[in-house]
Structure 1
Amino acid sequence: MSDFLLDPNVVFLNHGSFGACPRPVFEEYQHWQRKLETQPVKFLARDLPELLADARSQVANYLGAQPTEIVFVPNPTFAANTIARCLDLGEGDEVLITDHEYGACRFAFQFAGSKKGFRVVEQAIPLPVESDQAVADTFWQGVTDRTKLIFISHITSATALTLPIPEICQRAREAGILTMIDGAHAPGQIDVDLGQLGADFYTATCHKWMCAPKGSGVFYVREDRQQLIEPLVVGWGWGPEKTFHRDNEFIEHHEWLGTHDPSAYLTVPTAIAWQQQHITPEVRQRSRDLVHTAVQQASLIEGIERVHPDSFFYQMGLIDVTTLQVDADALKIWLYDTHRIEAPTIRWNGRTFIRVSAHAYTTEQDIQHLLHALGELPNQHQLRQA
């Protein structure tokens, strides 16, 4: 798709890491940056509150939430730190996660736990998985009477696994356990309705599958849970001399982080509009089919295996090259330097994966190029692990 600014000489199969911003969305982003620099005081001190309110309203509608339940954040790592640092967790409490969680967010909870005294418990979910029910049952084995918070991904980063979030959230609510969902890879790749999902807290990246500019994310806190969350950064929105006067204390406390460029946030509505116009269900299905093709055909190559049943992944899939005993870092370099393929190689629980992402710009030729490169892998002795 010509809307994207990606280098045409690179086979870009890594939308999952940082996304890719379409040209019309990027031009809107630059428009907001120029507007900011034209009159910074007017823009930041007088115009920004209403601009953010309008953008927040559109994002909330896209995600099935209320505008008063969402604030913009730079990324999900920021939101995870907010929960880990500010939620009332202490000695004897446990935060339950899976062994598939994104490193930066896992570190946020481990760091806060080392200061506040709570434990981060990792529940293993072995691969391959069989069914949503089996995943939920396996995860629930980690719950104890000390579990105060569940923090899990909607779609995992390392293993591209879609977890049964509604089932887990329902069980948690019945048990009186709070839930925080890392939705970095979900909105834009699958439909998300926060009102129906049942999570207490949810964070999402807008600059991945929603194709907004880098540094745009959202943090959802259900209205009846907002009193539990303090601001990670205390600024003008907190004190009695508030910079902006609004009726909603949650937004006042969390939205104003000091001087920063809000252009990425203000561009998210344009990204949503672009998505709704161009990323139809048929386009999503085509992207999913391309990933399924890559995973299935790669598994026919000697030494390469597949990981998930088709029902567990969408526009990201895993190719398991563990038995080839290749070095993950050397493999990533070889894919790029030799074949101009941009795809992440992942080490997880002693296994080595190539994660393949497909979006509207991905072609059948891109997938065939990857498969051709993978066909050379069994003979690449220089990539063997030490």
Structure 2
Amino acid sequence: MKEQFLLDQNITFLNHGSFGSCPKPIFEEFQRYQLELESEPVEFITKKQPKYLKTARECLAEFVRCQGDDLFFTSNPTYAINIIMRSIKLNKGDEILSTNHEYGAMDRTWNFYCKKTGAKYIRQNISLPIVSKEQMIEEFWKGYNENTRVIFLNQMSSSTALIFPVKEICDKAKELGLITIVDGAHVPGHIDLDITALNPDYYTGTLHKWMLAPKGSSFLYVKPELQNDLEPLVVSWGYESVAPGESQFLDYHELQGTRDVSAFLCTPKVVEFLKENNWKAVSQLCKQIVLENYQRFCDLVNNKPLCPISSEFLGQMASFKINTDKPSELKNVLYDQYKIQVPVMPLNGNIYIRFSINAYNSQEDLDKLYNALDEIIKTTDLIKV
């Protein structure tokens, strides 16, 4: 399937988890919408765009298993969390319970909010290596107390690439009367997602990662009873509209004046591409490659796996800890000298390399990374073992 993608053939691309890669048929659909917009922008924006967005929302909703009027498109999950952050009303001393495995932009968003309100953002420690799902749940709830009002956690962590037991945590949170917010940036198109069954108050995910959509395509789901409490991040024509639609929720968050929504409109093509190419089977093969290779990379750098090597904790990407005090230099060497695009990421005082596997990857790509790291270990001081 490598020929289906637009990636530079001279680069070994092992970083799908950061920004994804868009297949040619989907990218062509993206450009088709842009050309249609430019050919008659007034007709497109005022008449066609609302209908196109509705079709795209309904297609996405079927894919992630919720109702089409309960979500809207955003450029990325950070944008979505900023909307929620501005809308929930917390008081001084109220706490948002999270983990120390969250995406850095999300941590910054909540820290900003807490400085404004006096609320507290709790990054509860989830210790590594993971022993069991029960351990993760037990450690998470150690951060709970009478001041906890919100839980916020990623369903798959970015730096450590771990799958979190979100369903179990959401279920208990609802029993405790807490607001539940889930960052599922890495989930759609990667692991099974049923938003209705998960039953969070808020859920955000991307299409431009594992669903293969053009960059800048994500969504925010909001439970129906909370939708009218959600304030628009950008106040525009949909606010107190002179021609309101059927949903204030969609008016407030979809109608933002002039912007290019072509990436959102590709959603039906995205879902079609995944179905036509039997993507569940493709994804399963990629996950198997990850499981088969994870231990040997840990052995190479003389560190333990971050979790039991199983599909309960790992999907199409995996992270392993490395001992280095020069992470930026290491990343540059891997790219400049070996032509390998792979993230070298800090988290909680540690450094991790995370490799991602998608349809355009092969065992040969991981062998290149392994051999490059082996040579770097033997010939430089960038990695200590």
Match of 1:250 in 2: 249
**Bigger shift: residues 272-281 or 38-47:** 272-281
Q: Is the 8 A contact 1:11 1:366 kept in 2?
A: yes
Paired letter, 1:369: K
Matches within 5 A, 1:111-130: 111-130=112-131
Structure-1 separation of matches of 2:75 and 2:204? 11
The 3 A distance-change label for structure 1 pair 380 and 352 is farther
Structure-1 separation of matches of 2:180 and 2:5? 36
Q: Percent identity?
A: 39
**Bigger shift: residues 8-17 or 247-256:** 247-256
Matches within 5 A, 1:1-386: 1=1, 2-242=3-243, 245-301=244-300, 303-311=302-310, 312-322=313-323, 325-383=324-382
Q: Is the 8 A contact 1:347 1:353 kept in 2?
A: yes
Paired letter, 1:374: L
How big is the shift at 1:172?
0.4
Paired letter, 1:221: V
TM-score relative to the length of structure 2: 0.96
Structure 1: tracts of 5 or more residues without a match: none
Q: Is the 8 A contact 2:228 2:248 kept in 1?
A: no
Q: Is the 8 A contact 1:298 1:305 kept in 2?
A: no
Q: Is the 8 A contact 1:88 1:228 kept in 2?
A: no
**Bigger shift: residues 274-283 or 96-105:** 274-283
Secondary structure of 2:73 counterpart: strand
How big is the shift at 1:304?
4.4
Structure-2 separation of matches of 1:121 and 1:320? 24
Q: Is the 8 A contact 1:341 1:370 kept in 2?
A: yes
Structure 2: tracts of 5 or more residues without a match: none
Paired letter, 1:349: N
Q: Is the 8 A contact 1:132 1:164 kept in 2?
A: yes
TM-score relative to the length of structure 1: 0.96
Q: Is the 8 A contact 1:305 1:321 kept in 2?
A: no
Paired letter, 2:378: N
Structure-1 separation of matches of 2:109 and 2:301? 40
Structure-1 separation of matches of 2:353 and 2:379? 16
What are the superposed Cα offsets for residues 183-211 of structure 1, whole Å, 9 maximum, x if unpaired?
Answer: 10001111100000121100011100000
How big is the shift at 1:143?
1.1
Paired letter, 1:49: P
> How many residues get paired?
381
The 3 A distance-change label for structure 1 pair 304 and 279 is farther
Secondary structure of 2:146 counterpart: coil
Q: Is the 8 A contact 2:301 2:322 kept in 1?
A: no
What are the superposed Cα offsets for residues 213-265 of structure 1, whole Å, 9 maximum, x if unpaired?
Answer: 000100000112213321111111012424xx321111111112221101000
